Structure 1
Amino acid sequence: MTATGGPGGSAPRRPVRIGNASGFYGDRLAAAQEMVEGGDLDVLTGDYLAELTLYLLHKARLKDPDAGYASTFLTQLETVLGTCLDRGTKIVSNAGGLNPGGLAREIRALAARLGLDVAVAHVDGDDLVDALPGLLAAGQPLAHLDTGQPLAAAGVTPVTANAYLGGWPIVTALAAGADVVVTGRVTDASLVVGPAAWWHGWTPADLDPLAGAVAAGHVVECGAQATGGNYAFFREVTDRRYPGFPIAEVAADGTAVITKHPGTGGLVSVGTVTAQLLYETAEPAYAGPDVTTWFDTLDVQQAGPDRVRVAGARGTPPTGQVKVALNYTGGYRNTMTMVLTGLDLEAKAAAAEQLLFDLLGGRDSVDAVDVRLLRSDHPDARTQAEATAHLVVTVKDRDPAKVGRRFSSTVLELTLASYPGFHTTTPPTRESAYGVYWPTLVPAAVVPARVVLPDGSAVLVPAEPGDPVAAARPPAPPAPPLATAVAPGGPTAVVPLGLVAGARSGDKGGNANVGFWTRTDGGYAWLEGFLTVERLRALLPEADGLEVRRYRLPNLRALNFVVVGLLGEGVASSTRPDPQAKALGEFLRSRLVPVPVALLPPDPTPGGPHPVP
């Protein structure tokens, strides 16, 4: 398709300023108003759809069929809609979730109450749950991306199935004059790709500019994580106010500058942007419905205070397949936490566990059991809190009765009959349904997006057909090791890995990713040689028996690891204390490793200043 209707013409336009005011459903409510009032924007975006969110929206629709969208978006919109209309600022968001049409109606009703005339378009067609039987009958296996198991063999019934649409439906909506565009499940980066393609008049053949917009969209999609939030070297963030939300200034060639409004908190640096580029990624060839973006071609440079230039993006065609996020109800779960204090904690935990399951009829009386003794106690503790540990017991079953009050009340029966000092952190709790995430692929041809334009007419926008062979062909020879990347010799010191490497980690369904980067060429040369798959397994014993994938990104001085299956069946069903692997990188940075003394920073603290090349 051709991008028409944008403000661009035959001559290159100035960069489009796209600000993101939400990184997840529940993010800072005031962010939209702060972004609009903080300075000029051409487009205001908001990302609300994590993988878990669609399952939560499904549960909301069970209670109210008119629900299914991110309701907080309306709260934010009420504060900024009038100003955006006055300034000509477009608003693009995936807050539509499972019901973008319903959200569009609510936006029109909101505008009417405010006395505003607004042109609203919405994008759907991503919802494939009703199409699944036909796809299976047509021979689509809907195989799990990691295990390869066909959906039919799993014997489950998905309650949500949403394809990751691209940016071209958003282009169509903006070209038709929409002031506000709400979508269902599009890729997070599409919220930037669509407006940038519309603004500059790109076509699907503009692969490198599209790849640059994908990289920019990936940086800003998680809000304040690009502006100093959750940053490994947090002591570099000297402005400790709440970080300003990020802005991507995307030029006609796809080069982008990541920044934030002046006078806001946080930091935009090569480090904060690199960290976000590594977040929730896998191989350097980042597949999407519009373009395959090669992250190992990116060049990230400081361009001024709180301004970072991301250039060099190269793109190849999309693969011709579109990712689909399926969720099904895996069963019911419940968790109770028992507090242990003082002496003999392991023996107390074992006694409580044995007695509990004796009363429940054995561990095999439910489908799954997870027991974890979480230790934070110290010998001869100065306070009772420092002498305390927690025994966390989680049970799962397809029968809610088995893991509901029957389970939690049985834990309370131990109160006067178990180890000394017994108490729990909560009263008896009810069971809750949990979802299981099933990522799969379908041919792009089966997911044409539908754009409902402001005048009520509908337009189908087919997905790009793609080319799997061309998609996998690197656009340039693999990046050689950095010319100056020579690992220093000399004495070593056993110190936390985080003294020389930053990290950011996250989840993709049941997989965990953790990307490590350094700030110097020599540091990268050491990291590349030291941090092998085998070394990562040694630092992370939980990865024993799991597939670990390692990817090199020399241009970013980075290594990215994916631990397949570390999170089980995904965040909704995981029993790990950190079910989304948000802190996995910080745990690994705390592990002691031998590091050349020549690489150690002047201030030897993990969050302290780091040498800048």
Structure 2
Amino acid sequence: MNPLRIGNFSGFYGDRSAALREMLTGGELDVLTGDYLAELTMLILARDRLKDPGAGYARTFLRQLEDCLGLVRERGVRIVTNAGGLNPAGLAARIDESARKLGIPLSVAQVTGDDLTAAHPGALAAHAYLGGFGIAECLRAGADIVVTGRVTDAALVTGPAAAHFGWGPGQYDELAGAVVAGHVLECGTQATGGNYAFFREGDVRRPGFPLAEIHADGSSVITKHPGTGGFVDVGTVTAQLLYETGGARYPGPDVTARLDSVRLRRDGPDRVRIEGVRGEAPPPTLKVGVNRLGGFRNEVVFVLTGLDIEAKAELVRGQLTDHLATSPPAEVRWELVRTDRPDAGTEETASALLRLVVRDPDQRVVGRALSGAAVELALASYPGFHVAAPPGKGDPYGTFEDAYVPQDAVDHTAVLPGGRVRPVPPPPGTRPLRAVPPPPLPEPLPPGPARRAPLGTVAGARSGDKGGNANVGVWVRTDEAWRWLAHELTVERFRELLPESRELPVTRHVLPGLRALNFVVEGILGAGVAARHRFDPQAKALGEWLRSRRLDIPEVLL
């Protein structure tokens, strides 16, 4: 049987608008997937729905699709996307309406059952992460376009693969292979050189979007359309495999994929083969993402220029601390960012930033805390006083938390073309999720001369967020470097290099098949990205900070 060619045209809500057309016209494809639903996106869509009950889906997808409906029909490519968000029925109706107006015969189906908001009082949105078999039912019934609510990102690939190859719920190895391919595709151009540690090794000014050639046994080849930008190699695929993952077991609604079984090898220019993936029964519960309104936040950034930076910061901090004491917000955070340089050639490079953030359940408190007080200091504080922008009244912020429900607690439903409804049963078997025992480490490198250098000289990294936690995947490209990294980058050394993690739980996972270590730092992101707890709220650059830190590296690796 020929492989199933599945491409991606979106990795987030706001991705390249031309990508759908580029993928449809750039080469042969069977299915195109679009991923829109990050944790923050669900909160954005929930707030949209508060203003308009008919909203709640990714409007940008509808515009992309309307421009390409004729091409979709002409090329015979099926579209599968979670752009339905909180309102898949609304999006499906709009697509159907657009196709009829244009006289383009396309059938539309949808997947529902993920919305559990009613069971979580006070939540703006609470949605279970569904698997791929609802999508498979829609495609088997002849749907040209399938829109879903909250499914796992990888389900956009496992569903079409299960439909095409006839996989059943118990074919865990095949499903796990598709999960791994789906995880590589889900973030779009991150698999083709985007956000890549070794980006200078190729032209990544406009990376092409990735595609996977999936085979009946679950193995796949990751590649891209000929002539598109970026590049695909073992490193770009490794980086994406480590993104937003934890240990060796990668759980999902349909299968738990064993990341420690993954084997990668070059299969030609811009082609990487993924094989050997093993799967196990999924866990007995489904993850539910719960988004709530956390309160209100306000901030002001004071610009401190030239001499006496620390003293200037102390002065304004003392002035505002006295003011805040009269009506104290629930949370007050100061952060001095030393962007200044001595004897700088421009005023901007001579300046540091002092950031004050306040939070409180009451918008009036955060508004009063900063708006008047910060402005009143304009002529009565440190020399050179000015702010990056005047503070406002305060904006709402969200929080994200995980909950779990039994697999059979959701009404996973495929709404087929024409409106027929088909229930999707829970998996026939489950297995509680347990950590994999640490694998044996390789023999360490023999002693020899070392030189102080950044970790990134020999190692790549990619980091990301899962709720309030962050993961940092670190990998190397040779067996010799792996022999060093596996022994050198312990949890203790990781905490030493990233002081923000010193007081937090840190877990190290070892993946020898990828020559990789994956660190999970619990709580570093507070209540999740929507809470904007830290400077880099999604931990996107945490890995690059780690790569910039210096340590003693054996000269044989340098």
TM-score range, shorter chain: over 0.9
Distance (whole Å) between structure 2 residues aligned to residue 542 and residue 28 of structure 1: 34
TM-score norm. by structure 1 comes to: 0.89
Cα offset, 1:574, TM superposition:
2.7
- The correspondence of residues 259-278 of structure 1 with structure 2, limited to 5 A, is 259-278=223-242
Distance (whole Å) between structure 2 residues aligned to residue 566 and residue 312 of structure 1: 34
Q: Which residue of 2 aligns with 1:436?
A: 399
2:531 is the alignment partner of 1:567: no
Distance (whole Å) between structure 1 residues aligned to residue 271 and residue 66 of structure 2: 30
2:285 is the alignment partner of 1:346: no
Q: Which residue of 2 aligns with 1:489?
A: 447
Q: Which residue of 2 aligns with 1:82?
A: 70
Gaps of 5+ in 1: 1-12, 134-156, 601-613
2:485 is the alignment partner of 1:527: yes
> The residue matched to 2:181 in structure 1 has which SS?
helix
State the percentage of identical aligned residues. 58
Q: Which residue of 2 aligns with 1:557?
A: 515
Q: Which residue of 2 aligns with 1:499?
A: 457
Distance (whole Å) between structure 1 residues aligned to residue 151 and residue 446 of structure 2: 45
Cα offset, 1:380, TM superposition:
1.2
Deviations 1:370-427 (A, max 9, x none): 1111111111112111111111111100001111265223211111111111111113
Counterpart AA for 2:484: W
Counterpart AA for 1:292: T
Distance (whole Å) between structure 1 residues aligned to residue 546 and residue 104 of structure 2: 52
Distance (whole Å) between structure 2 residues aligned to residue 478 and residue 576 of structure 1: 32
- The correspondence of residues 596-611 of structure 1 with structure 2, limited to 5 A, is 596-600=554-558
Q: Which residue of 2 aligns with 1:300?
A: 264
Aligned CA RMSD, in angstroms, stands at: 1.5
> The residue matched to 2:235 in structure 1 has which SS?
helix
Q: Which residue of 2 aligns with 1:3?
A: none
- The correspondence of residues 39-438 of structure 1 with structure 2, limited to 5 A, is 39-132=27-120, 157-237=122-202, 239-362=203-326, 365-404=328-367, 407-438=370-401
Distance (whole Å) between structure 1 residues aligned to residue 339 and residue 435 of structure 2: 50
Q: Which residue of 2 aligns with 1:536?
A: 494
Deviations 1:233-276 (A, max 9, x none): 11112x23300001011100010100000101101000000000
Distance (whole Å) between structure 2 residues aligned to residue 402 and residue 466 of structure 1: 52
- Quick one: structure 1 residues 504 and 290, their matched pair in 2 at CA, closer, same or farther if it must change by over 3 Å? same
Gaps of 5+ in 2: none
Counterpart AA for 1:436: T
2:5 is the alignment partner of 1:17: yes
Instruction: Kindly indicate whether the alpha-carbon contact (under 8 Å) linking 2:299 and 2:391 is maintained by their aligned counterparts in 1.
Output: no
2:547 is the alignment partner of 1:582: no
Distance (whole Å) between structure 2 residues aligned to residue 478 and residue 377 of structure 1: 44
> The residue matched to 2:343 in structure 1 has which SS?
coil
Deviations 1:268-322 (A, max 9, x none): 0000000000000001100000000000100011111110001110000001111
Deviations 1:185-219 (A, max 9, x none): 00000000000111111111211010000000000
Counterpart AA for 2:55: A
Deviations 1:501-538 (A, max 9, x none): 10000000100100000000110110010000111111
> The residue matched to 2:247 in structure 1 has which SS?
coil
> The residue matched to 2:67 in structure 1 has which SS?
helix
> The residue matched to 2:529 in structure 1 has which SS?
coil
Distance (whole Å) between structure 2 residues aligned to residue 557 and residue 588 of structure 1: 17
Determine which of 429, 434, 440 is the counterpart of 1:466: 429
Instruction: Kindly indicate whether the alpha-carbon contact (under 8 Å) linking 1:297 and 1:479 is maintained by their aligned counterparts in 2.
Output: no
TM-score norm. by structure 2 comes to: 0.98
Counterpart AA for 2:478: T
Distance (whole Å) between structure 2 residues aligned to residue 180 and residue 252 of structure 1: 23
- Runs of 4 or more, structure 1, over 6 Å off, are none
Aligned length: 558
Distance (whole Å) between structure 2 residues aligned to residue 414 and residue 534 of structure 1: 44
Counterpart AA for 2:409: V
Distance (whole Å) between structure 2 residues aligned to residue 224 and residue 334 of structure 1: 34
Determine which of 595, 600, 603 is the counterpart of 2:553: 595
Counterpart AA for 2:426: A
> The residue matched to 2:246 in structure 1 has which SS?
coil
- Quick one: structure 1 residues 35 and 349, their matched pair in 2 at CA, closer, same or farther if it must change by over 3 Å? same
Cα offset, 1:465, TM superposition:
4.6
Instruction: Kindly indicate whether the alpha-carbon contact (under 8 Å) linking 1:488 and 1:599 is maintained by their aligned counterparts in 2.
Output: no
> The residue matched to 2:44 in structure 1 has which SS?
helix
Cα offset, 1:463, TM superposition:
2.3
Q: Which residue of 2 aligns with 1:29?
A: 17
Distance (whole Å) between structure 1 residues aligned to residue 429 and residue 495 of structure 2: 37
Q: Which residue of 2 aligns with 1:6?
A: none
Deviations 1:547-567 (A, max 9, x none): 000000000000000000011
Distance (whole Å) between structure 2 residues aligned to residue 449 and residue 396 of structure 1: 38
Counterpart AA for 1:219: V
Distance (whole Å) between structure 2 residues aligned to residue 406 and residue 560 of structure 1: 41
Q: Which residue of 2 aligns with 1:4?
A: none
> The residue matched to 1:283 in structure 2 has which SS?
coil
Distance (whole Å) between structure 1 residues aligned to residue 444 and residue 492 of structure 2: 22
Distance (whole Å) between structure 2 residues aligned to residue 121 and residue 94 of structure 1: 12
Instruction: Kindly indicate whether the alpha-carbon contact (under 8 Å) linking 1:356 and 1:410 is maintained by their aligned counterparts in 2.
Output: yes
> The residue matched to 2:377 in structure 1 has which SS?
coil
